[in-house]
Structure 1
Amino acid sequence: MSRAALVVIDVQESFRQRPIWAYASNPDIVGAVDRLVAAARDRGDLVVWVLHAEPGSGGVFDPANGHVRLIDGLAPAAGEPTLVKTSHNAFTTTNLQQVLTLAGIRDVTVCGIRTEQCVETTARVGCDLGYEMTFVTDATVTFPTPHRDLPETATLAEILADPRTLATDEMIARTEYALAGRFATVRTVAEVTGAVPAGARG
């Protein structure tokens, strides 16, 4: 019997080690993901956990530094795979497609960090691979995003002070516009868990 899958992307300690975490769009990401995971398990859906690693980088995504692990409060249950990726999307550098194929899954829900980067990119690639994708915006996190012309050496204070910096609510809105009707169905945690009917907001 075909099941659906929930793919939890990069909800890892690495991000909490960065000063910009104080400006995260959704600091209660663990609570939102926990609700999605509980509902998926109740339905008998597969839950797949994905972590991002940059081996040898020396930064917060270098596994040697101990931050490439789920944020406290989240843990895989028995039989739930944990995949480690080195690309932005969760497919290219993992066997996620094989995992989904072997489980007979065609419907995939994604959540995690960051809204417009790894989660959105996974939704786009998943759609191109033929999956029915659902994007749960309020179970994602993004951060104030600097303009492309701001030097990479810019400090957090400079990023926040720059009028060209994209605010988190703007990034979320742009991501939803880009995905909806093209790559994914955009839903809320309440809609996915059945707390409110699909299409109802609030």
Structure 2
Amino acid sequence: MSWKTGFRSLYYLGAPEPDDPVLVPAQTAILVIDVQNTYLERPDRASLSPQEQHRYDLWTPFHERMHGTVIPNTARLLALARQHGIECLFARIACHTRDGRDRSLSQKMPGWNNLLLPKNDAPSQLVAELQPTGDEIVVTKTTDSALTGTNLRLILHNLGIRNVICCGIFTDQCVSSTVRSLADESYAVIVIEDCCAAATEELHRKELEIINMIYCHVMSSAELCKIMALAK
């Protein structure tokens, strides 16, 4: 099954197959969303209580996917994009204040989302494998959407971007929120399914079905590489 027929919800069963996107390098950007130290750090499992160990184990598939699939594939895409002259952009969650009072309500909700990530602290930084190079742009957001929470809209406009290729975490949260915002601004959006992850595989796949064919097109990194090779 190819990207043209995969990840389809009931809404789009039987819909015509889309054409291959035309990715003019000067009008295309890759946006890597929230692949930050805080989400990849793990404590020593032996030091945890039984309840904490259970939670630790539930998150193990996510960490395996990030280290074995998402980060390596994203690094390869960034390298290819740089070869093609495609803009590489990065977004991260961080607050400008030490106590996080500038965060949006969604970033202050109790529970898992309530992370305090001052912008200069190590947990808020992008992971070592996916660092920007040269003068590549990093935007710092205090909302889920990288478009709503930053001046990214203006940056994309000034760069002449029409196509945005999205990677990152979490598929069902900040990736989805960003994709929807970009689509509402009439950007053509591609989400690379093996360069994204959610807390579980089920959440990841369900969210891709929800956003595919209306807010974006979902494809694999291998499929995108073929399209980029044809555009060279």
- Count residues in correspondence: 174
Distance 1:75 1:98, change over 3 A: same
Distance 1:99 1:177, change over 3 A: same
1:179 matches 2:211: yes
Q: Deviations over 1:41-66 (max 9, x none)?
A: 11111000111114424945233642
Scaled by the length of structure 1, the TM-score of the pair is 0.78
State the shift of 1:14 in Å. Answer: 1.1
**Contact 1:59/1:65, CA 8 A, preserved across alignment:** no
Extract unaligned runs of 5+ from structure 1.
144-167
Give the match's secondary structure for 1:67: helix
What is the alpha-carbon distance in structure 1 between the residues aligned to residue 130 and residue 221 of structure 2? 16
In the alignment, which of 22, 28, 40 is matched to residue 81 of structure 2? 40
**Contact 1:35/1:193, CA 8 A, preserved across alignment:** no
More helix by share: 2
Extract unaligned runs of 5+ from structure 2.
1-23, 43-55, 101-113
Matches within 5 A, 1:165-176: 168-176=200-208
Distance 1:130 1:59, change over 3 A: closer
Distance 1:137 1:44, change over 3 A: same
What is the alpha-carbon distance in structure 1 between the residues aligned to residue 217 and residue 162 of structure 2? 14
Q: Deviations over 1:180-200 (max 9, x none)?
A: 1110000111111229999xx
Which has the bigger relative contact order, CA under 8 A and spacing at least 6?
2
Give the match for residue 157 of structure 1.
Answer: none
CA root-mean-square deviation: 2.4
1:87 matches 2:119: no
What is the alpha-carbon distance in structure 1 between the residues aligned to residue 139 and residue 157 of structure 2? 15
Give the match for residue 155 of structure 2.
Answer: 99
1:133 matches 2:172: no
> Rg larger in 1 or in 2?
2
Give the match for residue 9 of structure 1.
Answer: 33
